Amino acid sequence: MPTQHGHAGRSGVEKAPGGKSAGAVWSGPFRRFPFVVDGVSPPPPPLPDTVRTGPSGPAHDTEERAAVGGKFSRPRSKRGRRPRAALAHVPRRIATPSARRGHAAATVLGVVGALLVGSVAFGGPTAGAGSTPRSRDSTPNADIAREFASQAPPIQLPPATAPPAPAPPTLAASPPLHSHEVFGFAPWWDLGNEAAFDVRDLTTLAYFSVDVNPDGTVNRSDSGWVGYESQALADLVSRAHAAQDRVVLTVTGFDQHVLDQLTSDPSVPNRLASTLIQLVSAKNLDGVNFDFEGNGPQDRQGLDNLIASVAGQLRGADPHWQLSMSTYASSAGDPNGFFDIGGLAPNVDGFFVMAYDMNSRSSPSPTAPLTGPGNDDAVDVAEYSHVVPRSKIILGVPYYGYDWPTAGPNAGDPATGGPNPVTYSQVATTMASQHLASYWDQSSQTPWTAYQSGSQWHQVYFDDPTSLALKARLANTDGIAGVGVWALGMDGNDPAMLAALLGHAAPAKFAAGPSSGGSASGSSPSTSYSYQGVYNGATESLSPVTSPLPGGGQARSAGHLQSFSTNDPGFTCLSNGPPLPVYELQASPTTYVVQVSTPSYCASGTWQFTAPASSSPSGGSSGGGSSPSTTTPPTTAPSNPPVTLPPVTAPTSGGTTSTTKPGPLGL
């Protein structure tokens, strides 16, 4: 997992598995992934040397974060668990920020801007929370798994009476990775609910997990092993195979002393390889996901050697097995971290990038920001793309968030204690029952809410179908292998969450939310954007369209707009793209509409401008760049039949804020 504290799990005494999945690299077209990229994706833009550290101030101050128990100075026990103050009434579960190297600046904004909103733009909070500057080697899956597993009741799963159904021949003989992955982790503590897992649109399901011992054998006495041996897992594997999904076994190592021995003992690779071959074959599985989460560079070369040897033997057993590695979000840009991404790449099909737990623990902030002044998905993807083929990158996204006790309900209000993890299911259920307002953090492109329990205010940052769809759009736009989720079951099996991973989430518009006007952990983007382009040789100022087009949208093609430019990060990608289509409204002959949509363009939006009659194109000429026509085209040009433009989805923020007083968030 990423260089953060991720799925760290069971060690010594029973270690809580930190579920995580890795996506492998697949060469063929991606099965059942709607947002397939046509053609070859362009090379990633060069990363500037500038390191973006985020806004200054207490919310981003390293020393303050350390004092509050932030990721930079987090004391850890042998099992890697970070002490945390008990909070409110929310069950403690996950926590740990992800490691990040430093942010590349404006270049990434240009690359990612296109996919931020597509057909919608959201209003961000004027003082929204942001993510932290990058640290190194935090272990998201390890910490998250440990926290959630610690809350799970003892599992009582009957052992399997027969092995699960094998993969169908067409799947068994296919390349290890699809060209667009939808990877999902199934943690042992939720196997009792496996029948509710929607596996139809997954491409890979990873059972999380069995824990490795220092000598390369696995722990056969903990809950992860009980899950591996259970009928519930056998049923899940059979169901996934029937849906044409691969099923892989996640093997975890979260203790530093275990990892030190695994990467230095020459007898370990053969023993680990033979163990994994036996475990995968016994359950008719389709590969292995390695989730080793350590710290520091001392094991980098040893880990490269270990994976090279084990992977070679696994491929010898079955060349179609999928081999993936869970890695930290910051690892591709961290030459001194635990993972050597370039060195590992030749021996794995893909990297499951744990792009979550990137929040500041000292102030309310998003766990998986798409963009922002600190850690974010856009920079992670760009950094990985400069080290390994994009076909080997799977962007991990969270089905959980964090609840902070705060001084008030406004964005920018300080935390009064550390955060507690909450699942999306908990958040969604309580928001619906308590009629809580949902706000949008424009800086990170994620939702948040606030509520009061007694006299204590809380703020909750999480991901929902809208924010996940934007992350899926990033994966599509950048042409990476796909997306993956940590973890199945945390969504309450809400079909909208999986639909979002497939790019199907309907756009939602939320209010920015109340703001204290005080110190904010995220920057406040400008809400005053300008748009312009050249039409028929003249520079035209464009206005975003926010209401239905007159005349039912009946229009005729009127050429193209050249040299589109804007300071709106959601649409800067259009500046370097092809000319944009222009339409003349039949109900208003001097009103011209520019309308684009995905997937033909990198973003979706509608603008209008008014041109003098003398500059109207003749008969639907190519427009932009040509000499202005002095004649008005006939109203019934047989070569230019009328068209009906699609309904407008405006690139402006909108939505309303509930005035209902928040009730207690009964998580």
CA–CA dist 442, 524 (Å, integer): 8
CA atoms within a 13 Å half-sphere pointing along the CA-CB vector of 55: 19
Residues 329 and 375 occupy one common structural domain: yes
Residue 638 CB contacts under 8 Å (≥ 6 apart), including other chains? none
- CB distance 489 to 189 below 8 Å: no
Does residue 221 sit within a domain? yes
CA–CA dist 663, 186 (Å, integer): 32
The answer, as to whether pTM is greater than 0.75, is no
Q: Write out the E strands in 165-310.
A: 181-187, 204-211, 246-253, 287-292
Buried b (16+ CB within 10 A) or exposed e, 352-380: bbbbbbbbbbbbbbbbbbbbbbbbbbbbb
Domain that includes residue 636, residue range: 531-644
CA–CA dist 40, 479 (Å, integer): 8
Sign of the CA dihedral 361, 365, 368, 371? negative
Residues 491 and 546 occupy one common structural domain: no
Number of domains in the chain: 2
The tokens describing 587, both together, are 């109900």
**pLDDT on residue 154:** 77
Residues 566 and 483 occupy one common structural domain: no
Residues 385 and 238 occupy one common structural domain: yes
CA–CA dist 510, 513 (Å, integer): 8
Q: What is the pLDDT of residues 20-37, one digit of tens each?
A: 333 332 222 223 333 222
Pairing of β 322-328 and β 456-461: unpaired
Residues 178 and 240 occupy one common structural domain: yes
Does residue 75 sit within a domain? no
Q: CA-based angle 619:624:630, to the nearest 5?
A: 50
Residue 210 CB contacts under 8 Å (≥ 6 apart), including other chains? 218, 219, 224, 225, 228, 249, 250, 251, 252, 279
The tokens describing 343, both together, are 């060195």
Residue 547 class from Cβ within 10 Å (0-12 exposed, 13-18 middle, 19+ buried)? exposed
Q: Which residue has the tokens 């008014």?
A: 610
CA–CA dist 317, 447 (Å, integer): 46
Buried b (16+ CB within 10 A) or exposed e, 214-232: bebebbeebbbbbbbbbbb
Residues 285 and 411 occupy one common structural domain: yes
Does residue 124 sit within a domain? no
Q: Which residues of the chain have pLDDT under 50?
A: 1-6, 8-136, 506-510, 517-527, 614-638, 650-667
The tokens describing 430, both together, are 């309580």
**pLDDT on residue 361:** 80
Q: How many C-beta neighbours within 10 Å does residue 650 have?
A: 17
CA–CA dist 444, 216 (Å, integer): 41
Residues 405 and 552 occupy one common structural domain: no
Does residue 445 sit within a domain? yes
Does residue 592 sit within a domain? yes
CA–CA dist 576, 25 (Å, integer): 29
Residues 259 and 371 occupy one common structural domain: yes
**pLDDT on residue 21:** 34
**pLDDT on residue 590:** 85
Pairing of β 554-566 and β 580-585: antiparallel
Does residue 58 sit within a domain? no
Q: How many C-beta neighbours within 10 Å does residue 418 have?
A: 21
Does residue 72 sit within a domain? no
Please report, for the domain that includes residue 178, its CATH number.
Answer: 3.20.20.80
Q: What is the pLDDT of residues 609-636, one digit of tens each?
A: 987 654 444 443 334 333 333 333 333 3
**pLDDT on residue 640:** 64
Residues 341 and 465 occupy one common structural domain: yes
Residues 385 and 256 occupy one common structural domain: yes
Of the residues 459, 486, 501, the one at which a domain ends: 501
**pLDDT on residue 560:** 92
Residues 467 and 616 occupy one common structural domain: no
Does residue 597 sit within a domain? yes
Residues 319 and 180 occupy one common structural domain: yes
Q: Write out the E strands in 235-282.
A: 246-253
